[in-house]
């Protein structure tokens, strides 16, 4: 598989449709993850064009903005998504009643917060759904760490990670949204990152 991945990364790094179609032929239990951040409708539209019933796994931290929840609902209905939500074991109200608001990134409690609202729900999703192919909308522009990644990779457990939009720019994403008349929203907040271009850790661990 490694030589095949190398060839695909070399020859089709800028061809997301080719990567998605190829990847979805490689496994029996594919998933596509989402957080409904800006431009997220692109990967969701591309994935469902190839496999309409692909499970769309949403790790909903409970800290999304009202606008994010509204656009999520619009995209879910528009694309008829097979949405599967994974939430933290404690609600936002429960956590904040005991521990207060989101800890700052310099607060030693921030790592535990990230683990609770993002990493643990994702690891639970992996355990319950046992995917063999994982589509994700991460892009090289997002963080310096992601700029070092490849569109296709495979972890030690054999999970094929597919980032078909890795080398797309914000302009590419915007033009795709316009071409397909897809909804978008920039009123988005990720409490595990706080700062732009900061890595939350999920894609470093998986």
- For the annotated catalytic residues, the residue numbers are 200
SS (H, E, C) 61-118: CCCCCHHHHHHHHHHHHHHCCEEEEECCCCCHHHHHHHHCCCCCCCCCCHHHHHHHHH
Q: Is 91 left (phi over 0), alpha (psi -120 to 50) or beta?
A: beta
d(CA 124, CA 58): 12
Task: Tell me 119's DSSP state.
Answer: I
Both structure tokens of 26 = 């490689």
Closest CA to 203 of 136, 158, 141, 152: 136
Written as six digits, the tokens of 21 are: 């179609």
């Amino acid at each position: 598989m490694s030589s095949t991945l190398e060839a695909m990364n070399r020859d089709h790094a800028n061809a997301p449709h080719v990567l998605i179609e190829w990847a979805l032929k490689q496994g029996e239990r594919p998933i596509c993850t989402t957080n409904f951040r800006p431009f997220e409708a692109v990967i969701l539209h591309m994935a469902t064009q190839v496999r309409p019933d692909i499970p769309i796994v949403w790790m909903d931290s409970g800290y999304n903005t009202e606008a994010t929840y509204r656009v999520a609902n619009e995209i879910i209905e528009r694309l008829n998504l097979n949405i599967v939500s994974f939430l933290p074991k404690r609600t936002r109200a429960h956590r904040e009643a005991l521990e207060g608001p989101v800890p700052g990134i310099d607060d030693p409690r921030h790592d535990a917060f990230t683990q609770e609202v993002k990493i643990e729900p994702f690891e639970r999703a992996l355990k319950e759904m046992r995917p063999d192919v994982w589509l994700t909308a991460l892009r090289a522009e997002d963080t310096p760490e992601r700029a070092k990644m490849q569109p296709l990779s495979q972890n030690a457990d054999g999970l094929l990670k597919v980032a078909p939009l890795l080398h797309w720019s914000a302009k590419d994403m915007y033009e795709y949204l316009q071409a397909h008349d897809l909804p978008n929203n920039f009123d988005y907040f990720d409490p595990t990152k706080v700062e732009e271009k900061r890595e939350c850790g999920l894609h470093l661990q998986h």
